[in-house]
Amino acid sequence: GDSVTQTEGLVTLTEGLPVMLNCTYQTIYSNPFLFWYVQHLNESPRLLLKSFTDNKRTEHQGFHATLHKSSSSFHLQKSSAQLSDSALYYCALIRTQVVGQLTFGRGTRLQVYA
Amino acid sequence: GALVYQYPRRTICKSGTSMRMECQAVGFQATSVAWYRQSPQKTFELIALSTVNSAIKYEQNFTQEKFPISHPNLSFSSMTVLNAYLEDRGLYLCGARMGGQDTQYFGPGTRLLVL
């Protein structure tokens, strides 16, 4: 079946430093959609980014990610971390537009300190 | 915009009893609804995917006998946790999606505590 791997369980940073959260995936389907969801404390996950196109950078709210099918990766980056970025970040995959369910990674907790 | 409501937001039930949770899509037609559970210290596990006019597909380790789901129209779905025990506690999320679209919109979740 499909799988999504987020290698870091916890990333701690000082405010102002760059952020990179890793995400790799496995699927037999050639055109998956990849997503990043962010979940703040006591809230439900909120869509942050999504991509379908190989090697195209997608950006939202200062975060960006590029889907690289050659390496099956969709890493999340931001040039300068803010305190408000502290949250759980989930990378997720959907096989095609037809299939309705997401496969989530285990999540990475980002903790930004002043 | 697309909104998804879930209720109750939080519920406590005694071990061995059952509870029903609901999911409502507003502003779009939810042709498919996926129910997930986020257990303490775990990621989101897919329980089942419900698509209008199709059979509900349950993931391994989850059954219709334990988590019966109803998806009677394009705006509403409900799921019941039957005979809830400690291992059933967690945050239950519904993710609703419009046919042909890739984005799944999540409700705020129903947090289940089992005593």
Q: State pLDDT tens for residues B24-81.
A: 999 888 888 999 998 877 778 889 999 887 889 998 889 999 999 998 888 999 999 9
The CATH number assigned to the domain holding B28 equals: 2.60.40.10
Report chain A residues whose CB lies below 8 A from the CB of B97.
100
DSSP three-state, residue A106: coil
Per-residue confidence band for A10, with pLDDT thresholds at 50, 70 and 90: very high
Report chain A residues whose CB lies below 8 A from the CB of B36.
102, 104
| Domains delineated in chain A | 3-113 (2.60.40.10)
Beta strands in chain B (DSSP E): 3-7, 10-13, 19-26, 32-38, 44-51, 57-58, 69-73, 76-81, 90-97, 105-106, 110-114
The domain total for chain B is: 1
Are the beta carbons of B102 and A52 separated by less than 8 Å?
A: yes
Is B115 within the bounds of a domain?
A: no
CB of B107 within 8 Å of a chain A CB? The answer is: yes
Are the beta carbons of B102 and A90 separated by less than 8 Å?
A: no
Are the beta carbons of A90 and B43 separated by less than 8 Å?
A: yes
Min CA distance, B84 vs chain A (Å)? 22
Contact between residue A6 and residue A92 where contact means Cβ atoms under 8 Å apart:
no
Dihedral sign for Cα atoms in the order A48, A112, A62, A23? negative
Tokens of B82: 């039957």
Are the beta carbons of B103 and A45 separated by less than 8 Å?
A: no
Structural domain containing residue B7: 3-110
DSSP annotation of B59: P
* Confidence (pLDDT) at B70: 92
Min CA distance, A81 vs chain B (Å)? 24
Nearest to A45 among B34, B102, B106 (CB): B106
Q: Which residues contact B99 (CB under 8 A, 6 or more apart)?
A: B29, B31, B32
pLDDT in tens, A81-94: 999 999 999 999 98
Q: d(Cα B78, Cα B102) in Å, to the nearest integer?
A: 22
Is B9 within the bounds of a domain?
A: yes
Q: Which residues contact A73 (CB under 8 A, 6 or more apart)?
A: A22, A23, A24, A25, A67
Min CA distance, B23 vs chain A (Å)? 13
* Confidence (pLDDT) at A99: 59
- How many CB atoms sit inside 10 A of residue A29's CB? 12
Q: d(Cα B9, Cα B25) in Å, to the nearest integer?
A: 15
